[in-house]
Structure 1
Amino acid sequence: MEGGESGRMAYRQCLHLGAQRRGHLVPVLFPGGGWQSVIEGEGGGKEEAALFRLREERGVKLWIHREWEGEDLVGLLRGQIAGGPPDPRVEMVPTCEGSRVYRIRLSRGVLYVKHFCYRGPVEVVKALIRGSKGERAWRGGQLLRSLGFSSPPLVARGKRISLLTAPVDFVVTEAVSGLRLKQLLQDGFGDRLGERGWRKRDFLRTLAFTVAELHRRGVYHGDLNPTNILVDLEGDLSPAAFCFLDNGRCRQMRRVPYRLRLRDLAGLNHPRLPAITIRDRLRFFSLYRSCLGGQDPKEMALRIYQRSVRPRRRQATRT
């Protein structure tokens, strides 16, 4: 088992790699010996909002990044809002229920448009009170990027939420290179890491420290699972190699309660994949615990098993 001082030293090394890679996470030694990551070069709040212009198309409020204001993108989005004829540059991407995703190929890059669906007036009322699904996804992406974590760069957002007309709610992001963590675990995990000269132990250590840093910064993801993490296999093995997707449930608090941390960890560790052994999972929990504390890794694994596997077994028995 790895933990204690060795775990904290590796944690600092991971943060240094992240700083070298993206210039976001910069470890600073504060009086008293505590380590904290501060941000350089990534603005949030007003600075982030200043990068976008607001316009209106067919009653839909449309925020577009200043660098993507060309009529090429606006015309494509206008066609999607109006339900016009299909464009050869736009193709539909398979996704889960509750949303539609399109891939747009432009001369300067590839974009993804995610339309959020609303099932009945109850969900529309919730959106009017709590904010739309697209708005929450937008804020979640802004939050992660402002704290130095990787998430797809935001390009545009459209919103028209009303009980009188059909809701329009979408977010546009730039394409991010990488392989989904779930696919990586299913498709020759050891071989793919070996091609990059990475060891499985180092990979799991970096992932554990990245999730620990997320929680240490007071961020609860809410939808943390291997499908929602992209792994960049082209760069260094650092926290910047993990890109978080589907950030609509992200929220920041003063301190993430242990039960919510377990919920994130349960989502990440639920799939039964042969590439990850019980020893790998215990090592992951041990490394996570060395950064934030908590229960013994075996107790943590048992709690996560009780939270995720047993309810699914009961549901399968009923059906």
Structure 2
Amino acid sequence: MNCKSIFHLALLLIIPFVVLCKKKEKDPIDENSDILLVIIDNNKSNEYASAVNTFKKYDIPYYILKVPKTGIDIQELEDKIYVPTSKGIKMPKYSVIIFPNGRVSFDNADYSQTSESNWQSALSYDQWEFFYDCSRNFGTRLVFLNEYPSNYTSTKVYKEYKGSEAENAYQQKQTIIAESYLSEADVINQSNLNTEGIYHFPAVIVDYNNGITAEPLLYFSEASEFPEKTIAAVSVENNGAHYAAFFMAFGEWSNDSTALNIIWLTWATAKDFKLISGKRITSEEAIKENGIGDYNKYEILFVIITTIITIIITRF
């Protein structure tokens, strides 16, 4: 085999990897976007990288509000969220507000004095009511990612674990199952989305008699520590405010997390994904291309087989 033949063979062998590789996306950050990410200012971009990567991949404009650990003044918050109209009426800038690290929380523990974590929110009770009122009065939808089950979502953890037991129990691989009323339920359930490598909190719905009600969006399948199906995400009605909460972290490296981002974006905007994405791809198509269902396996297998056939034809 001469050098030219070797070169041709090598070129053909890398075709599948060229086809499947991803190109770098432009960051569509836009102050005039309808979508706002509210994050804690702690220099940990990994806490919201999954959402940002999805926005970049599908050319979805978004904006970021960073809240210092010391908090934010309510007037400053109002100026960030609302804009006055020509008639002097304040209207919200955003139709969707996302909290990618739960309750804009940070660990305030002094580990030189204690081994126990001390998680707290950078937003006060009144400031949370400010966001809820934005939803109540103007229909803005809120989304909480990496949320811990609580009275805010009319849920609690199915079973509470501590220490090393928590690491094992809350990182078990569990399949994600969609509630049947979701328009994308079939494609979600065919995509074999799961929690491999993702910290998550299987939950149950409870009634705290506080005017907050929850309906399941997604479930976690049974697992060794969880003998029955548990709640993975809910839609919540809080005295007129509407929001969704996902009881799991989102990994920037995870295609499953990207698919889940598409699910909550579709819920929050009440639109098919093609109407919010610059890529003009539907919700089902976007979920499918990030899932690990049979169709993706078959597509990869098809590329590999056709490449092998091309090599054989070329060589012989």
TM-score (norm 2): 0.26
User: Which structure has more helix as a fraction of its residues?
Assistant: 1
- Pick the structure with greater CA Rg: 2
TM-score (norm 1): 0.26
